Amino acid sequence: MSAAGLLQDVFGFDAFRPGQAEIVDAVAAGKNVLAIMPTGGGKSLCFQIPALMREGVTVVISPLIALMRDQVRALQEAGVSAGALTSGNTDEETQAIWAALEAGDLKLLYMAPERLASGATMGMLRRIGVGLIAVDEAHCVSQWGHDFRPDYLRIGDLRRALDVPLAAFTATADAETRTEIIEKLFEGGGPQEFLRGFDRPNIHLAFASKNSPRRQILDFAGARRGQSGIVYCGTRAKTEALARALREDGHNACHYHGGMEAGDRRGVEIRFAREDGLIVVATVAFGMGIDKPDIRWVAHADLPKSIEAYYQEIGRAGRDGAAAETLTLFGPEDIRLRRSQIDEGLAPPERRAADHARLNALLGLAEALDCRRQSLLGYFGEEEIVCGSCDLCDSPAEVFDGTTAVRKALSAILRTEEWYGAGHLIDILTGNETEKVLGKRHDQLPTFGVGRDYSRPQWQAVFRQMMGHDLVRPDPERHGALRMTETAKPILKGEAGIRLRKDTIRAAGRRPAVKAMVSEEDAPLLSALKAKRRALAEAAKVPAYVIFPDRTLVEMAERRPNSLDEMANVSGVGAKKLERYGAIFLEVITGAAETLHPARRKLAGRAGGSVYDQLLEVQAELTRGTDGIDKPLSCSATQLAKVAQLRPGDEQGLKRVLDKRRVERFGEAFLDVLRAAG
């Protein structure tokens, strides 16, 4: 079957997303491929469809057990023979996979890279007839990527040993990471590269300076009550405290971090996958294996560590293509912490310099004066960006010429020999005669009191923006004292100016919630469809979206199909899911049980379905012959379904399906129907 045919028949989609089709074609043709696609851009289909088109087994290397299990269950629900060899398998599951491999039935075999260390695994892979290797989250192979997994380095050996094509996929990879992926996985031999646009236009971007951050997060979540969301925090303790605060505020919320027992972590993952409207407050330990398509918002209670990390973390929202929102809070302490983590790390100097540059890019995004989407996508090399979906496009920033203020601040830093933090420097600038200022005789400095025209909160905003623009950095060897960088020198010398935001010290307002997914009229039906989905998911012990994603239920609620044929035209309803769940959801929509014969039900949504219905009508007219006086005669539903599917072109062909008496009674009329159907 063609790629487009598999897309529709197995996965239930009418068309590929932009960029998917050419990647599918290249992988199916057996070319080595490196595809950089945005999170939520449909990477999985780009190797799952070629796996069904190619001979042999496709081995998928994936970093997380949770992600593998969910993808395998989703494939099995769609009627695809897939399995995962993981440490979480039961003996029965593992035996079933081995049996399917030995019988040559399995099309996709998922495994973690750590399993490649076993000689037995390599021997098994040589024996089973692997036709393709797919590598998910390929940036894990790179020291420059932020999820380095040394076992990924064995994948290059596997490709050489099996001598089969390899397709590598990742959502984010800068130039250094791409170079290292090509070197480690493809030995530098140029794979066909696909760099899809990084834009996720359905995701609204917003940043706010910290000002009662717990209240800011509670307000943000409160405006989106009942929607699934993630709150990322910088510490384990904060995840627990903030989850508690959300629960006290009436939300369904839980926490997640690497210090929890593995079983407790898995319990949260399962709850998040199956429950509607759950908020998970987590460290970055939560995320890479989360494939839930209907996450409506992501908030950062603390600044992420890099622009790539930020992009991946917000990318977990809105994977179904519907509107989603983000909010990232940040303050000077976040910047100080991230700088010190880089400076105090064990990485070589060039890596530390690169990490500072990545952090600078994120801080530039946080302190942007114009469109955030342009700033974010510009980092990934994209131009000509249309936004209209960020806080700065909604409400342009108030800016002022901050050159004089920055020079005063730099002067205070240099005159105190770069030994002090922002608090003491602000005391000097505002003329605050503290015990420390008087004790150090800093009231005698020329800069003492030169900044009285700004309030303390305004100066705090100036210093934070100076840190954000990398004009000053905290020095870990001087207990976080601020030191001037090379970037600041042109401003100090009067060779350059700088614009700063005036509005950063205002509290972040409650942006209106994302609009309802369906109209008020359709909302009760959507709730009923979700309830049915939840019951089926719990019974099958799978995430709810494995049954149907939200956008499929929304389309059902809006279109209200009256038959299985109409249900087959809903996006996301493939042939297997139509057969398994179509009648169940149709009953929720119509309020009546579906009465089609099973043989006809299998033809729902296909051309053969309408042919079957026409044959049935013709048969009804001829049941007692052309004159209406003969002995009653009819074909079984199974016989009619075979005629509709095989479409014989002559009487001889009909005789292979029907006996002589039925051909004599119905043959000519049936052939007329078949010819008219083409």
Q: Phi first, then psi: what are they for 432, rounded to 5°?
A: -90, 110
Looking at residue 145, its pLDDT comes to 66
- Which class is domain 607-677? mainly alpha
pLDDT score recorded for residue 550 = 87
Q: Enumerate the β-bridge partners of residue 671.
A: none
Residue (of 415, 394, 305) closest to 352 by Cα position: 305
pLDDT on residue 167: 96
Condensed to tens digits (0 to 9), the pLDDT of residues 36-65 reads 987 667 889 999 999 999 999 999 999 877
Q: What proportion of the chain, given as a percentage, has pLDDT over 90?
A: 42
- Residue 118 pLDDT greater than 70, yes or no: yes
Lowest mean pLDDT among 317-321, 484-488, 600-604: 600-604
Look over the chain and give the mean of its residue pLDDT values, rounded to a whole number. 87
Which position has the higher pLDDT, 394 or 117? 394
Which one-letter amino acid corresponds to residue 407? R
- Span 344-373, mean pLDDT? 87
Q: Higher-confidence residue: 436 or 621? A: 436
Q: How far apart are CA 215 and CA 83, in angstroms?
A: 45
Q: Which two tokens stand for residue 320?
A: 């179904």
| Side chain identity at residue 264, one-letter code | D
Evaluate if residue 263 carries a pLDDT over 80. yes
In this predicted model, which residue has the larger pLDDT, 412 or 601? 412
Q: Is the pLDDT of residue 225 over 50?
A: yes
- Where are the chain's structural domains? 3-195, 203-332+356-394, 399-501, 523-595, 607-677
Task: Write out pLDDT tens, residues 366-399.
Answer: 999 999 999 998 888 787 788 889 999 999 988 9
Backbone φ/ψ region at 234: left (φ over 0), alpha (ψ -120 to 50), beta: alpha
pLDDT of 205? 96
More confident residue, 548 or 142: 548
3-state secondary structure of 170: strand
pLDDT on residue 287: 66
What H or E segment, with its residue span, contains residue 639? helix 637-646
CATH class of 523-595: mainly alpha
Q: Are 40 and 59 in contact (CB under 8 A)?
A: no
Sign of the Cα torsion 146, 148, 153, 158 reads negative
Q: Would you state the pLDDT for residue 516? A: 61
More confident residue, 327 or 321: 327
pLDDT of 509: 42
For every residue of 245-313, DSSP letters joined together read HHHHTT--EEEE-TTS-HHHHHHHHHHHHH-TT-EEEE-TTSSTT---TT--EEEESS--SSHHHHHHH
Q: Where does the pLDDT of residue 219 fall: very low under 50, low under 70, confident under 90, or very high at 90 and above?
A: very high
Instruction: Among 21-30, 235-244, 315-324, name the one with the lowest average pLDDT.
Output: 315-324
Distance CA 186, CA 157 (A): 10
Average pLDDT of the segment spanning 469-493: 89
Measured distance CA(269)–CA(231) in Å, rounded? 14
The tens digit of pLDDT for each residue in 446-472 reads 999 999 999 998 999 999 999 989 999
Q: Has residue 250 got a pLDDT over 70? A: yes
- Tens of pLDDT, residue by residue over 26-35, are 999 999 999 9
pLDDT tens for each residue of 276-295: 889 999 998 786 556 788 89
Sign of CA pseudo-dihedral 232, 236, 242, 246 = positive
Contact 64, 38 (CB under 8 A): no
Q: pLDDT-based confidence at 507, cuts 50/70/90?
A: very low
pLDDT > 70? residue 503: no
Question: Do the domains 399-501 and 523-595 sit in the same CATH topology, yes or no?
Answer: no
Which long-range contacts (C-beta less than 8 Å, at least 24 apart) are formed by 415-420? Answer: 415/445, 415/446, 415/447, 416/440, 416/442, 416/445, 418/475, 418/478, 418/481, 418/482, 418/483, 418/484, 419/478, 419/481, 420/481, 420/482
Residue 175 burial (C-beta neighbours within 10 Å; 0-12, 13-18, 19+): exposed
Nearest 5°: the CA angle 193, 197, 199 is 155
Q: Closest by alpha carbon to 205, among 299, 71, 332?
A: 299
**Which CATH code is given to the segment(s) 399-501?**
1.10.10.10
Is the pLDDT at 547 greater than 60? The verdict is yes
Within 470-597, where are the H helices?
A: 489-492, 523-540, 544-547, 550-559, 564-567, 575-577, 583-590
Spell 36-73 as b/e; 16+ CB within 10 A means b.
bbbbbbbbbbbbbbbbbbbebbbbbbbbbbbbbbbbbb
Please determine, for residue 365, whether its predicted confidence score (pLDDT) is greater than 80.
Answer: yes
Quickly name the fold that domain 3-195 has: Rossmann fold (3.40.50)
What local confidence, expressed as pLDDT, does residue 523 receive?
A: 79
* Strand positions, DSSP E, 386-540: 399-401, 472-475, 481-484, 499-501
Instruction: Tell me the pLDDT band of 246, cut-offs 50, 70 and 90.
Output: very high
Sign of CA dihedral 69, 75, 79, 81: negative
Residue with the bigger pLDDT between 477 and 403: it is 403
In this prediction, residue 538 carries a pLDDT of 84
What pLDDT was estimated at residue 515? 54
Instruction: Band the pLDDT of 629: cuts 50, 70, 90.
Output: confident
Distance CA 388, CA 288 (A): 28
Task: Find the largest Cα–Cα distance for the chain.
Answer: 120
What's the rounded mean pLDDT across residues 538-555?
A: 87
Give the model's pLDDT for residue 382: 81
Per the DSSP assignment, residues forming a β-bridge with 109 are: 59, 83
Q: In the chain, pLDDT over 70 holds for what percent of residues? A: 95
Give the C-alpha separation, 304 to 365, whole Å: 12
323 Ramachandran zone, left/alpha/beta (phi>0; psi -120 to 50): beta
- Write the burial class of residue 512 (CB in 10 Å: 0-12 exposed, 13-18 middle, 19+ buried): exposed
What's residue 502's pLDDT?
Answer: 83
pLDDT reported for residue 505: 42
Close Cβ partners of 670 (under 8 Å, ≥ 6 residues apart): 615, 618, 643, 654
What's the Rg (C-alpha) of the chain? 31
The fold of 203-332+356-394 is: Rossmann fold (3.40.50)
pTM exceeding 0.85:
no
